[in-house]
């Protein structure tokens, strides 16, 4: 199961990186965040797949937590950009009507960064209780022996 999760994770990260590059998602620093994280994600996942060690597992976990955080931040950025655009188009728009317009906007798609959250969760599932990382309880037991 772990091998399947690593393949899914690597395919997802690679596909998303290619898509973001094709969409020129590199106009400013905030748009570079997912591209940089995807590069790190691919690197640490390959490192872990080639030679599992405590360091590689922890690196995967840290990068995947950053994926989740960046995905949530990306949803906020996309949503805010869409609100601003919709207010330029119709300053009187508000409430549920504004929410639906923002969520249905095609550029930027408000919920697309949620894919980073999804990939982060897959990566955390992949790295969960890997054999290279002893459980905390077994570490504490060994300390007192």
How does residue 139 score in pLDDT terms, banded at 50, 70 and 90? very low
- For residue range 12-63, what is the model confidence (pLDDT) as tens digits? 999 999 999 999 999 999 999 999 999 999 999 999 999 888 999 999 999 9
Range of the domain at 80: 2-128
Is 37 among the domain residues?
yes
- For residue range 73-126, what is the model confidence (pLDDT) as tens digits? 999 999 999 999 999 999 999 999 999 999 998 888 999 999 999 999 999 999
* Measured distance CA(145)–CA(141) in Å, rounded: 7
Is 94 among the domain residues?
yes
What CA dihedral angle connects 47, 122, 4 and 63, to 10 degrees?
Answer: 0
Q: What's residue 143's pLDDT?
A: 46
The answer, yes or no, to whether residue 129 has pLDDT greater than 60, is yes
Is 137 among the domain residues?
no
The answer, yes or no, to whether residue 137 has pLDDT greater than 60, is no
Angle of helix 114-127 versus helix 54-89 axis, rounded to 10: 170
Q: What's residue 111's pLDDT?
A: 92
What domain count does the chain have?
1
């Amino acid at each position: 199961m772990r091998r399947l999760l690593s393949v899914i994770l690597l395919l997802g990260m690679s596909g998303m990186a290619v898509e973001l590059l094709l969409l020129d998602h590199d106009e400013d620093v905030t748009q570079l965040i997912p591209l940089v994280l995807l590069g790190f994600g691919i690197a640490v996942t390959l490192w872990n797949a080639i030679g599992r060690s405590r360091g590689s597992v922890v690196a995967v976990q840290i990068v995947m937590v950053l994926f989740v955080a960046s995905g949530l931040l990306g949803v906020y950025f996309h949503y805010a950009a869409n609100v601003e655009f919709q207010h330029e188009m119709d300053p009187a728009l508000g409430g549920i009507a504004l929410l639906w317009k923002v969520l249905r906007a095609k550029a930027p798609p408000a919920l697309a960064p949620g894919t980073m959250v999804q990939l982060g969760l897959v990566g955390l599932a992949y790295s969960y209780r890997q054999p290279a990382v002893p459980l905390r309880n077994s570490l504490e037991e060994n300390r007192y022996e």
